[in-house]
Structures are given as structure tokens and as C-alpha cells.
Amino acid sequence: MSEVQRVENRELQPERAANQAAEQGWRDRAIVPPVDIFEQDDAVTILADMPGVTPESLGVEVKDHTLSIEGEIAVQMPEGVSARYADLRGSRYARYFTLGDEIDTDGIEGTIHHGVLNVRLPKRDTHRKRRIEIQAT
């Protein structure tokens, strides 16, 4: 091996290490799922796109007025096949919402179907819109 080749190889080593560190950073980083939020008279609904997440790999929790949505991506590969490249870089989703006092945290419900998480946040009775009947005198 010539002296030039040895120098080039040494110079490439830090670059490879940097690329490997960046790749590891991508693996540790969570993807923020896009959401749609709808408000009705009696509840707020959050729809989050989380493809690759199964009910077993999903965690939805409420603590101190914070709703946490986290899910591990479980990509199913056929037996004997491995991915060489994937556009999806993260291995998990994470998103957090601050809830107001109007949400009844004991009544929160959720479902996931084909990678779309649907979380229903019911409003407390005291914060629900209600019609007041006015009588003519």
C-alpha cells in the first residue's frame, strides 16, 4: 500500500465515525406523528398517524395534565428478507399534549386501526356546552 493510500484511509476514519454517530442519533430520535385535532361539544378527538405501530407497542398515558403518546415501530419483514435501506429513520413515535382542566382524564379512550390512533378526550360536565331554555314572560 502506498503512503498516499494510507493517509487517505486514515482521513476517512473520522468521517465514518461521524456518519455512524449520526446514524445512531437518528435511531434514538423519535418521530413526531402528524395529528388532526377536532373539538366537539362533549369531547376533543386527536387522530395521530403512526404507521407501523401495533396496539402492543403503543403507550398512551396521562400524568400531571400531560397526555403522552408513544409507539414503537414494528416493521414486519418476510422471513429471510432484511432491509438494506429504509426512508423511515426513527424507530419510535412520540408526541405530548398539555391538557386543560376541562378534560375528564378518567374517561379518556383510544383505538388504533391501520396505524391511525384515535384518542377521545371527554370534557367535564361543567365545561360542556349546553343549551339554556329561556321562557317568555
The 10s digit of each residue's pLDDT in 92-118 is 999 999 999 999 999 999 999 999 999
Residue 103 and residue 50 in one domain: yes
Residue 9 and residue 38 in one domain: no
Average pLDDT of the segment spanning 34-41: 94
- Round to whole Å and give the CA distance between 83 and 108: 37
Residue 24 and residue 91 in one domain: no
pLDDT of residue 103: 94
Average pLDDT of the segment spanning 125-134: 78
pLDDT of residue 28: 61
Asked, for residue 132, whether it belongs to a domain, the answer is no
Residue 48 and residue 87 in one domain: yes
Asked, for residue 135, whether it belongs to a domain, the answer is no
pTM above 0.85, yes or no: no
Average pLDDT of the segment spanning 33-57: 94
Confidence check: pLDDT of 123 > 60: yes
Contact 93, 20 (CB under 8 A): no
pLDDT of residue 132: 80
Percentage of residues in the chain with pLDDT exceeding 70? 74
CATH number at residue 76: 2.60.40.790
Label each residue of the chain as H, E or C: CCHHHHHHHHHHHHHHHHHHHHHHHHHHCCECCCEEEEECCCEEEEEEECCCCCHHHEEEEEECCEEEEEEECCCCCCCCCCCCCCCCCCCEEEEEEECCCCECHHHCEEEEECCEEEEEEEECHHHCCCCCCCCCC
**Total number of domains in the chain:** 2
Domain carrying residue 10: 1-30
